[in-house]
Amino acid sequence: MTIKTLSVLLSTLVLALQVSAFPQYGTLAGLDARQVERVVPTLNARVPPPPPGPPAFTGAKLVDDRDHPWRPLRQGDIRGPCPGLNTLASHGYLPRNGVATPTQIINAVQEGFNMVNNGAKIATYAAHILEGNVVTDLLSIGGKTSLTGPDAPPPASIGGISHHGTFEGDASITRGDAFFGDNHSFNQTLFDQFVDFSNRFGNGFYNYTVGGELRFHRIQQSIATNPEFSIRGFRHTTAYGEAAFIANIFVDGRKTGAEAHQLDMDSARSFFKDMRYPRGFFRSNKPTAGEGADIIFAAHPTEPGHNVGGVNSFVVDTSMGGVLDQCLFYTQLVNVTIKGLYPSPTGILRRNLNINLGFLYEAIGFPPSCPQVFPFGTN
Ligand code: HEM
Ligand SMILES: *[C@@H]1O[C@H](CO)[C@@H](O)[C@H](O)[C@H]1NC(C)=O
Ligand SMILES: *[C@@H]1O[C@H](CO)[C@@H](O)[C@H](O)[C@H]1NC(C)=O
Ligand SMILES: *[C@@H]1O[C@H](CO)[C@@H](O)[C@H](O)[C@H]1NC(C)=O
Ligand SMILES: *[C@@H]1O[C@H](CO)[C@@H](O)[C@H](O)[C@H]1NC(C)=O
């Protein structure tokens, strides 16, 4: 065997190892055509099935039940920035390893938290297209898993716009900004601040009033400390929605009247830190999602924007839309962000992207004045 053949053989082997190490849930978002061409043949391709509808029964019920015991993490289990999905995985409503199909996620958030059907579909398909593997129809709840090793795209180039192009974003309530090197983990200092605000503005409970103050404060903290802070488009929308989930979805469904939408601190700690239902938890008594986000926004309306020259250089940038312009936010998410993450998809990748984009648009249910956009053509 000549040196040349040997070196060709070796580099082929290295390549094969890299590709075989690429998990089935690893995302194709951000890969160039050459990388996609190598990875796709190693994947178990699947036609995405239509999304599930709402469940037959949508009232309150015990969800911390016998069939869904909480279990501690095992080696290799994946958890991420979403306390809702983390909890569902730790109780077995989702596969306990943290890897699921969009269908499994929609069914789990409906069953385990009574999340409203269209809200469940919007969040799930957006996350799947931005951070999941649309060829295998799998995504992990740990956020973006990209190709690693020498072939990996440089992080700043992912999406061609910046790492803020994914679902995960800045100014989270209990998680640090990506700029500080955090990777989705629970932050005790930030949780202490959550408790402090709940004491000061909610008499020991988190409610929309607390949400309004804390959401604003987290944005101010990020403006003052994170030179790369950004809250635009999709993230502007989710930042307000998630602050509302805490008062809607994490509150026991048997609480009504003055007790509704008031979350006690033991329950909050259970979800955020332990990824566990409070003992004997009942899910919401009606399908729900971001109700109250408007109250939280109205307390201190902050327009979308970003720091442009170091800390404390925040400028408003409404070009990607946000809570005040949902149609623009949809259009830019698909036409700019998602288009940028998939430069020139072909074959199964393009077909599955288009199917998932169709599910996303249908779930949002826009009036005809906000038409669907087709960054990868129609087929
Ligand atoms: C339907 C599928 C869902 C997906 C794909 C999803 C995904 C995510 C992601 C990616 C984040 C991180 C955003 C960030 O803060 O940077 C997040 C945050 C969050 N999610 Fe979910 N989520 C889903 C459903 C839920 C449900 C059902 C709940 C409530 C039970 C929930 C509650 C939250 C909360 C409270 C945060 C904010 C955490 C914080 O700011 O510290 N999510 N979610
Ligand atoms: C994630 O955070 C842990 C500590 O919280 C750190 O050791 C690790 O290097 C981080 N990983 C990445 C990829 O940032
Ligand atoms: C938690 O957040 C605080 C405040 O942003 C920060 O100073 C600290 O370094 C973070 N802790 C960890 C472990 O990331
Ligand atoms: C939140 O709790 C505080 C303290 O009990 C109360 O004054 C405020 O009205 C509550 N806000 C909402 C929206 O329930
Ligand atoms: C979407 O982007 C294409 C160019 O890629 C552009 O021609 C089209 O006008 C955009 N659509 C919208 C609604 O912005």
Nearest-CA residue for atom 9 of ligand 2: 181
In this prediction, residue 4 carries a pLDDT of 62
Residue 324 lies in a domain: yes
CB distance 285 to 256 below 8 Å = yes
In this prediction, residue 5 carries a pLDDT of: 62
Q: Whole-structure pTM over 0.85, yes or no?
A: yes
Q: What is the pLDDT of residue 158?
A: 37
Ligand nearest to the CA of 194: 1
CB count, 10 Å around CB of 221? 16
**Residues pairing with 243 in the sheet:** none
> Would 179 be classed as within a structural domain?
yes
pLDDT of residue 222: 97
209 C-beta closer than 6 A to ligand 4: yes
pLDDT value of position 161: 30
What's the pLDDT at 157? 37
Q: Which amino acid is at 147?
A: L
Q: Count the alpha carbons within 13 Å of 226 in the hemisphere toward its beta carbon.
A: 22
Burial class (CB in 10 A: 0-12, 13-18, 19+), 255: middle
Give the CATH number for residue 202.
Answer: 1.10.489.10
Q: What is the pLDDT of residue 167?
A: 85
Which residue among 198, 203, 210 has the greatest number of ligand 4 atoms within 8 angstroms of its CB, and so is best to mutate? 203
Q: Is 85 in the pocket of ligand 1 (CB under 6 A)?
A: yes
Residue 375 in any domain: the answer is no
Specify the number of domains making up the chain: 1
State both tokens at 202: 């909610």
Q: Containing domain of residue 314, as a range?
A: 3-364
Say how many C-beta atoms besides its own lie within 10 A of residue 1's C-beta: 6
For residue 373, is it within any domain?
A: no
CA 187 to chain centre: 18
Distance 336 CA to ligand 5 centre (A): 9
Distance CA 336, CA 25 (A): 23
- pLDDT on residue 10: 58
Task: Confirm whether 377 is domain-assigned.
Answer: no
Q: Establish if 233 belongs to a structural domain.
A: yes
Q: How far is CA 105 from the centre of its chain?
A: 12
Q: Kindly state whether residue 194 falls inside one of the protein's structural domains.
A: yes
pLDDT, averaged per 10 consecutive residues of the chain (379 residues), comes to 60 55 91 93 97 98 98 96 97 98 98 98 97 97 75 44 64 94 87 98 98 98 97 95 98 97 98 98 97 98 97 97 94 96 96 98 94 93
pLDDT of res. 16 = 54
Task: Report pLDDT for 379.
Answer: 66
